[in-house]
Amino acid sequence: MSSQPVVASPLYPMPVASPAGQEDLISAADLSPEEAASLLEFAQHLKAHPAEYRHALAGKQMAMFFEKPSLRTRLTFEAGMASMGGMAFFVDQTQSRLGVRESLKDVAKNLERWVDVLVLRTFDHATVTGIAEHASIPVINALTDLEHPCQALADFMTLKEHFGSLKGLTLAYVGDGNNMAHSLMLAGAALGVNLKVATPAQYAPQHFVVAQAQLIGEETGAAIEVMTDPVAAMVGADAVYTDAWASMGQEQESAARAKVFQPYQVNVQLMACAAPHAVFMHCLPAHRGEEVTDEVIDSAQSVVFDQAENRLHIQKAILAQLLCGATTKIPVRSARA
């Protein structure tokens, strides 16, 4: 997977290729516009024809190291790997972060001898890039405090299913300028989707991520805007997205954040500012009554469980792409099973 030029930042290093030339998925910006569009098409093909790929990853093994709790990410990666004939091994790192007991380099050098792909869910983004720097096998970012690329790709797959085309759509994101906002901007820019991100000033997205997304948008025609007014972001939006006001690791800030973010709650009144056909999106888990009300998340406009379902299919596509260079023309091995 090729990469876009990256705006310099100590937190956001260039995407890493292993000594053997194997590629990773660390950031949504690792995908060129063409690769992002192709990956979504491949994921839709996998979703429509799962039986054709039930042996695509036979003999392949995936190790998952998670420093944070997970429902959707863990199960969709495990189910996706198993559904294509591979095996998954889960390592719970919630009690001890990677790099503490032994160096990231030593961890990577061990793991590359045993398995074919690593899936990491960590606090520090540098943990994922550090493993990728030293591992000669693919590394997938399953969430860091900086980005959540797999979720963002599943989200745009969902929008593509609902609207038929992504080019020119407008996605309004309201709430915390967190890892979810970052990956939505980067992936959306690559796919030609306009993003209007509204956050409190002190919780705005990282400037270097915004700059990177805007740079990508110059190539694809996508407009990336950051503002503080949630109503202004919503006007005319085709999709409305929000996330928890306090992410994992920020629970002690929940009470203070709730006061600041209250104007950004997606309720019936705010949702009415979007286009009549707008859909509501959330990466889950949702804190009902905080960032979103029951009336919105349970409404006919809500596509949150479509998003959750598509985590399975986009991750299958990512695994197949990284492990065997698969595209929509991947050889159909099940026909001779």
Do 149-307 and 28-147+311-324 fall under one CATH topology? yes
**Whether residue 21 has pLDDT greater than 70:** no
Supply the pLDDT for residue 248: 67
Each residue of 294-318: pLDDT tens digit?
999 999 999 999 999 999 999 999 9
| Per-residue pLDDT at 16 | 34
pLDDT at 246: 83
pTM: 0.90
Annotated catalytic residue, options 45, 74, 134, 148: 148
Can you give the residue ranges of every domain in the chain? Answer: 28-147+311-324, 149-307
CATH code assigned to 28-147+311-324: 3.40.50.1370
The per-residue pLDDT of the chain, averaged, comes to: 90
> Residues 246-266: what's their mean pLDDT?
86
What is the pLDDT at residue 139? 98
Is the confidence at residue 27, as pLDDT, over 60? yes
Per-residue pLDDT tens over the stretch 143-199: 999 999 999 999 999 999 999 999 999 999 999 999 999 999 999 999 999 999 999
Confidence category of residue 334, pLDDT binned at 50, 70, 90: very low
The pLDDT of residue 332: 34
> Is residue 4 among the annotated active site residues?
no
Q: What is the 3-state secondary structure (H, E, C) of the chain?
A: CCCCCCCCCCCCCCCCCCCCCCCCECCHHHCCHHHHHHHHHHHHHHHHCHHHHCCCCCCCEEEEEECCCCCHHHHHHHHHHHHCCCEEEEEECCCCCCCCCCCHHHHHHHHCCCCCEEEEECCCHHHHHHHHHHCCCCEEECCCCCCCHHHHHHHHHHHHHHHCCCCCCEEEEECCCCHHHHHHHHHHHHCCCEEEEECCHHHCCCHHHHHHHHHHHHHHCCCEEEECCHHHHHCCCCEEEECCCCCCCCHHHHHHHHHHHHHHCECHHHHCCCCCCCEEEECCCCCECCCECHHHHCCCCECHHHHHHHHHHHHHHHHHHHHHCCCCCCCCCHHHC
Q: Is 311 an annotated catalytic residue?
A: yes
Which residue out of 151, 206, 315, 321 is catalytically annotated? 151
pLDDT at 211 over 60: yes
Instruction: Read off the pLDDT of each residue in 247-271 and give the average, rounded to a whole number.
Output: 89
The yes-or-no verdict on residue 222 having pLDDT over 80 is yes
Lowest-confidence region among 185-189, 223-227, 328-332: 328-332
Is 288 catalytic? The answer is no
Per-residue model confidence (pLDDT) at position 326:
60
In this predicted structure, what is the pLDDT of residue 1?
Answer: 61
Check residue 251 and give its pLDDT: 74
Q: Which of the residues 45, 55, 121, 282 is marked catalytic?
A: 121
Q: What is the pLDDT of residue 13?
A: 35
Catalytic residue selected from 72, 93, 243, 321: 243
Q: Name the CATH architecture for the domain at 149-307.
A: 3-Layer(aba) Sandwich (3.40)
pLDDT at 249 over 90: no
Q: For position 124, what pLDDT does the model report?
A: 97
Instruction: Write down the catalytic residue from 265, 283, 307, 313.
Output: 283
* Active-site annotation holds for 283: yes
